[in-house]
Each structure stands twice: as C-alpha cells, then as structure tokens.
Structure 1
Amino acid sequence: VVGHAAAAQHLLEEAVDSWLAGPCGVLSFLCSVLLSRSIGTVREDMDDMTTPLIGGFGHCSQELVNLMLIGEASSNVFDGSRWLGDDPSSGFLVKGIDGDRVGVPLVGYLSELEAMRYVTVGTLYKHPDCPIWVLGSPTHYTLLFSMRRSDAQLSREASLEQRAKKVFNDNALDEGSIAMASSLGAMLTALGIGSDRLAQAQQELVNEDVVLWQDFKFWTARQFGCSDGPSQASSSKLNLFLYDGQDPPGPSLRSIVVEQSDIDPRFAGGGADGDAFAATLHTRWPNAVVQVMPFAGAGSEGGGGGAPSMTSL
C-alpha cells in the first residue's frame, strides 16, 4: 500500500525495468489504478456503468483515458456536466471534466474526433497545468508537448470565457447554447457584474425571452475590457514536439511549429484539407499554420519529415 503520491512515483520509476516491462506490465498498472480509485467509484464516474474500459481492438475507452489523466472515469471530455433533455428530473446527466472537483488537469487532451465534430473537448483539457497534451486518434495515442509552460496557460480572454461558459451552462436549457432571459440576472451576479448593468444586458442580449451563448460571450468580454474576437496566446509562434512510441515502426520524435494567424491555413502553407493532424491542432490553436519537421539530433529515432497522418500516429 502506497500512501503518498511521491512514494507512488518512486515505486513506478523503480518498476520501469521490472514488472512494468513484463508482458503484463500495462495490465498490472491498470489494475493498480482501478483498485486505487475502487471499482465501485469508477462505475459511479461513468454515464453508463456497463461501459467496458477496453473496447474493440484493445483500444481504451474515453472513461479509461480520463481515469489515467484526471483520476476520474468520466465519460466525456467537455467541461462540467450536462443534462440531456429539457427536464432535469426526467433527463439524463452526462459527466465531463469537473474543474471544481479535480482542478486544472496536469496533462491535457486533444482529439481528432473534435475536428470531425463528434465531440467537444473543453477548455480544461485544452489548457492543462503543464504543456503536455495526449492526442487521441482512431488508432492510438501520441504525446504533444512544449518546453515552455506558458504555452498551455489560459490568456485573460480565454480565462474569462471559461468562467462565462460555466455560468451559462449552469443556466442553459440545452447543451449550452440557449438560456432563459429570467436567468440573466443570476448569471451576471455569478460573474461579478453589478445589477446596474442588468437593464443594458436585457436590452442587448434578450430576444424572445432567451439569451444565446455567443451573444452572452461577446457581451461579457466587452464588460471586462477584453476583445470579443478569438483570443490569442501570448506568443504567436509555438515550438512543440510530438512523440509517437508506436512499435512498429518504432519511436519517433518530431518538431512541430505552430504559428498563429488570422489567415485560413489552407492559403498560408499549412493545414490543408484532409490533414487530420493539423485539423486536430486547430481545435486548440484555430487558424494556425502547422509545420512538421524531424527533430534535430534525434538520429534514427527522429522519424520522417512529412506531416504525420493521424492514422499513423
């Protein structure tokens, strides 16, 4: 029994060349994580308690990925929880990443499925505490990371948008796009906006007794003196690295340059149609030009210089 995180880390570091390296190493680690969380609690984390943690072809379920990244086996990757159905008493609660309970994740997550519009990855996973992101694709997982911590942090605009989105979702009727006008006062109070601005908000935001999220987002940004356009990171050019440990063909390390731009990347030399890897990065850095290069000094493990397709990641 290990009682402290530091002791657990030391145990795992010592196990790299022993039981973790054996034929059942990964499975043993998985069992350890499950027992640490407890089977009953893991089931309660899920939307559907019968969901297997390992699906077809041996792939991880999203519940298992979340368990490894945040310590909870929630079934979704958006921020917070949502009710499916108009009436919470008869609807179905679907659970994502609860920032109030787990805080900001140490490691982030990006998904090709978001580029395909199947899922929405929340702000918490896109802006982790450390500049490390697990990249999910239909075939396997890779690791994207930066040497600069600020590359993962929220800008002032993005932080405000995250707060506003949580407040709006708490009062929304559907999946976070519409709220009743009667909730507007409570939403402004939750954001620290004085009641003296309620009349202005009602005049500018209410249309047929409802408030739309996009209108609320831009209006809130203006109240705090933030730009109501897309938020930009403190640096327009990011130097990232992509590690792919799949064997075969063997581990590879690539250098990824992400240059933020207002120009459609299809006309700026990167992110062409059909480039699933660039499309996945665009879910975190919209309209960025993505360049992939072999990592200097990586030798035979540096990988090729072409853009990695998500089917090979």
Structure 2
Amino acid sequence: MGDNSSASNSNDERELKEIRNLLWGPSIRLDVFRRWSQGFEFTDIEPSALVQKQGGPCAVIAPVQAFLLKILLMETPGHSFSDLTLDKCKRLLIQALCNILMKCKVTHYRIVTLPEVCTEAKENANEDSEGNIRSTADDEMQREDPNTAHNVQPEHRELSPKEFHERLGVLNFESIEQVEKYYTENFNALSGPYGVLLFMYTVLLTKGIGNVTSELSDTSEPLIHNTYGYGSQGLINLMLTGRAVPHVWDNDQDVGGLKLRGINQQADVGFITLMEQMRYCTVGSFYKNPKNPVWVMGSETHLTVLFSNEKRLVSPETPCETARRVFKSYDPDGNNFIPSALLGDVLSALDLVSDPEYVDIMRKKLDPENLGIILLNAFMDEFFPIDQRSTPDTFDLMHYNGIPGSNLANKVKYRKGTAILLESDLKVMCSSSNHMLTCLQTKWPNIEVNWHDGVPSLN
C-alpha cells in the first residue's frame, strides 16, 4: 500500500515543497494558514451540510459540498435531507472526495497524510483534562454514542506552517476503492484539524505538480491569496474539473497569439459567478450547463452552492436553445441584437446555410431598414419559429452557504426558493444590492425567485 523507497520519499518531499510554494508563495501568513486549518465537519441542524469556520477554504469546501449534493440528488433515489444519518453523510463525503480525485488521477492516487499528529492525538485522547488515563470502556462508549462522537475531535497541538509541512507523509494507492477504504478507516484524517488542507494537497499531488503548472500557464501568483486567503480560479477549476486551467470560458481562446486555457468539456458540477455580470469574465456553456443541476456560485470573495432536484434544468439543449446560446455568444453585452455583419458567422456556427448570396438576402430581410443590426427575436422567428424549451417554467432551487454567520440565526442550513422563468427575453431588472438574482441572471436572464426565508447571502 504505502511506498517506502527512499527515492520515492525524496521525490514526494520535492513535490510537496513545490506544491507548498505554488499554493502559498514564498512565505505563509500565519492567520491565513489558521483560517485554512479545519476539518470536514457537518452541521448539527443540516446533516449533509459542511461548515466553513472562516473565510478562505471555500475553494475546497464548496466544490466538495457540490459533489456531495450531486451524489445525493442524482445517485441516491428516495433520499430525504432530514433522515440522513451521520454514517451516511460520512460515506457521501468520502464518495465526493473520490469523485474529485478520479478527475485528477494521472498514474496513481497519492494521499497526503499527517502521521505524527495522528499518533499524538491518539496518545492525548487517552488522557482526560487532568492527565489521567481514560479507560477503553469510556472510548467504546464515546464511539458508540453518535451524539457525543459527532464533533468530538482528539486534543491536538496547533502546528506552525513549518511544522505542518515537515510532518507530511504520502501513501500511494492504485485504485479508487483503496482510497475509499483508507478514508473510511481513517476518517479522522478528514475530520481532524487539518483535513481540508490534507485533501487539497492530495488533489495537487495526485494531479502532479508538472501537470498543474502547465495547465495554469502563469504561476507568478500563488493559488491562495496571501492576504485574504481565498483560492484562485485555477484551484477552483482543478477541484471541479480535474484541470487547473485559469479561465471559465469554453475551450481555449487565442488572444493576440496567447493561448488562454478554459474548460474543455461539459462539467459534472457547474459554475456561475457574479464576476460575469461585472464583466470580469465570461462563463462558458460547459460550466453553465453541467451534467447535474448543481452549480458552485462565486461572489467577489466567497463560494456557495446552488442546487435543484429538477433534472430538466440540465437536459440536452433543444435546437432553439442552441440557437439562442450561439446568437448570444456574438452579443457579449446582452443587448439581444448583433451587428448585421455577423449574421454569416452565426449561421455558420449553427450549421445553417451560410453562402454569401443567401446571407445577403437574409440580412436584407432581417434588417429591412438597414440599421446595421439584427434582433434576436427576428432571427429566432425566421429560423426557429417553433420555440421548444427543455427547461420548465417553474422549479425549486436550494442554496448552501457554509459560513454560519451568513445564515439565519448563525445556523448552516439549505435555503429554498421557488423560481419562475418569465416569457420575455428582457432581463428582470433587479437592484444592484440583490447579488443572488444578479448572479442567477448570468444563467437564466429572465428568472425571478421567491426565497422562502428571505434572499440568501453569496458572501
């Protein structure tokens, strides 16, 4: 199982050192490291929801939560959020982690461990607060009583970033079944005080430092912001897709001879962001239309998760929906019209007749007053008069935010809303303070949502 050869160990040490530099830069701020030092821990009130104790580690926690919800919604028929046991949620968490690791595997799985801390923790856990040795019967009782075992962590001494990195070890596994077995038997490696960090290092080491740096293209900035502690887009993309590319558009784009790498296939879990509305980025169809109705949502500083049990939200596009998407890709400002000079490009992109003579005829028909623009509605009426939509008009949405202070009564709980897609192509005007609606409109321009307990926070 573990590989103890000295050559392998020195290689692991070298890669772990490179990963440390890639993540944190030349020096690690203690306050940022502390914010990331937490385990995967469920809340009491919402059995399957993970808690994020401080700002920063959402770049790992939100994608893990998204994959956990994907498994729960799509692969666990007949579930109810309220009747989930702690054991079931632990299994879901391990499955979610394995889902992420499978996307990152190159040769084998390389699990990063903190062996000395586990040993110290076991020694400490057998003493009570006055240093007396506890009996094994006490241990058994604590293990069997789920109410006490839920959040009880062994005592641990806080490690400095230097100590943490000096103690890291690596176990190599060939199959995902072995990884699942390891995490099942060593769940404290995930729930302990460094569980989130250890999993992030596992993802990067399994992917391989050379692969990560080649996908990132630019490694001048660390993956974790050295002041605010939040994760870069490259780290988020690695967690969601197994590729550490820095952009969220579809495929690669050539800008002045520079190849800017994006998402190369439909994602299992989607991604939408408020930053798109602010024109900082363009999220492509592979992220907006994932295979499952689960999306990580980005604000300026935080990641949350949107999800639904309405599978028709991710059914294959109808020809009409494809046409709208392609038309709008030539209308980046969302004006619902394109310059008439681009008509041929749109027709060609849709595999419609695009001979120059035909394009000229259609241009005159669709722009009779020679205004130099073609309206979306005129285009759709001409080429796709029967408007089929695969998306239902109304559906339920749920939202997760892992930070207790961003939830009602400081309790992490899924929030429910009823969404309606309006008939019109006009965007629902919303106040700039409603960040939730603004972000949702990057995916559904004509959406309105009635949240049952007030609008949830993206921050």
Are 1:18 and 2:188 counterparts?
yes
2:436 maps to amino acid: F
Secondary structure of the residue that 2:404 maps to in structure 1?
coil
Deviation at 1:143, TM superposition (A): 1.0
Are 1:199 and 2:329 counterparts?
no
Task: Give the one of 145, 149, 167 matched to 2:311.
Answer: 149
Whole-Å Cα distance in 1 between the matches of residues 345 and 228 of structure 2?
A: 50
Whole-Å Cα distance in 1 between the matches of residues 385 and 357 of structure 2?
A: 21
Are 1:242 and 2:403 counterparts?
no
1:257 maps to amino acid: T
1:34 maps to amino acid: L
Question: 2:414 maps to which residue?
Answer: 253
Q: 1:185 to 1:274 in 2, by over 3 A?
A: closer
Whole-Å Cα distance in 2 between the matches of residues 12 and 218 of structure 1?
A: 56
Are 1:96 and 2:262 counterparts?
yes
Whole-Å Cα distance in 2 between the matches of residues 110 and 122 of structure 1?
A: 9
Secondary structure of the residue that 1:58 maps to in structure 2?
coil
Whole-Å Cα distance in 2 between the matches of residues 277 and 149 of structure 1?
A: 22
List aligned pairs for 1:71-82, cutoff 5 A.
71-82=242-253
2:396 maps to amino acid: N
Are 1:308 and 2:456 counterparts?
yes
Question: 1:300 maps to which residue?
Answer: none
Alpha carbons 1:237, 1:258 under 8 Å: kept: yes
Tell which has more relative contact order, 1 or 2 (C-alpha 8 A, sep 6+): 2
Task: Give the one of 194, 198, 218 matched to 1:28.
Answer: 198
Are 1:49 and 2:207 counterparts?
no
Q: 1:289 to 1:36 in 2, by over 3 A?
A: same
Question: 2:449 maps to which residue?
Answer: 290
Deviation at 1:238, TM superposition (A): 1.5
Alpha carbons 1:128, 1:153 under 8 Å: kept: no
Alpha carbons 1:126, 1:152 under 8 Å: kept: no
Question: 2:230 maps to which residue?
Answer: 59
Whole-Å Cα distance in 2 between the matches of residues 21 and 52 of structure 1?
A: 26
Q: Aligned-pair RMSD on alpha carbons?
A: 3.6
Alpha carbons 2:340, 2:374 under 8 Å: kept: no
More strand as a share of residues: 1
2:253 maps to amino acid: R
Secondary structure of the residue that 1:67 maps to in structure 2?
helix
Secondary structure of the residue that 1:124 maps to in structure 2?
helix
What CA deviation, in whole Å up to 9, does each residue of 1:242-264 have, x standing for no partner? 11221343412100221111265
What CA deviation, in whole Å up to 9, does each residue of 1:150-186 have, x standing for no partner? 21234313335557889x8xxxxxxxx99998xx699
Alpha carbons 2:183, 2:189 under 8 Å: kept: no
Whole-Å Cα distance in 2 between the matches of residues 17 and 242 of structure 1?
A: 27
Alpha carbons 2:399, 2:456 under 8 Å: kept: no
Q: 1:219 to 1:97 in 2, by over 3 A?
A: farther
Whole-Å Cα distance in 2 between the matches of residues 242 and 149 of structure 1?
A: 16
Alpha carbons 1:105, 1:129 under 8 Å: kept: yes
List aligned pairs for 1:267-282, cutoff 5 A.
271-282=430-441
Whole-Å Cα distance in 1 between the matches of residues 378 and 182 of structure 2?
A: 49
What CA deviation, in whole Å up to 9, does each residue of 1:52-99 have, x standing for no partner? 1111321010000000001101111111221222xx3xxx22111122
**TM-score when scaled to structure 1?**
0.71
Whole-Å Cα distance in 2 between the matches of residues 117 and 12 of structure 1?
A: 44
Whole-Å Cα distance in 1 between the matches of residues 340 and 254 of structure 2?
A: 13
Alpha carbons 2:252, 2:260 under 8 Å: kept: yes
Whole-Å Cα distance in 2 between the matches of residues 132 and 150 of structure 1?
A: 12
Deviation at 1:226, TM superposition (A): 5.8
Whole-Å Cα distance in 2 between the matches of residues 153 and 146 of structure 1?
A: 13
Whole-Å Cα distance in 2 between the matches of residues 7 and 160 of structure 1?
A: 46
Question: 2:294 maps to which residue?
Answer: 132
For the pair shown, the structure with the greater C-alpha radius of gyration is 2
Q: 1:11 to 1:115 in 2, by over 3 A?
A: farther
What CA deviation, in whole Å up to 9, does each residue of 1:81-121 have, x standing for no partner? 21222xx3xxx22111122xxxx100000111112222111
Unaligned stretches of 5+ in structure 1? 169-176, 207-213, 294-304
Deviation at 1:32, TM superposition (A): 1.0
Q: 1:23 to 1:82 in 2, by over 3 A?
A: same
2:206 maps to amino acid: S
Question: 1:296 maps to which residue?
Answer: none
Number of residue pairs aligned between Structure 1 and Structure 2:
266
Identity %: 28
Whole-Å Cα distance in 1 between the matches of residues 243 and 212 of structure 2?
A: 7
Whole-Å Cα distance in 2 between the matches of residues 33 and 217 of structure 1?
A: 44
Whole-Å Cα distance in 2 between the matches of residues 79 and 51 of structure 1?
A: 23
More helix as a share of residues: 2
Alpha carbons 1:132, 1:144 under 8 Å: kept: yes
Secondary structure of the residue that 2:259 maps to in structure 1?
strand
Unaligned stretches of 5+ in structure 2? 1-171, 331-337, 365-372
Secondary structure of the residue that 1:147 maps to in structure 2?
coil
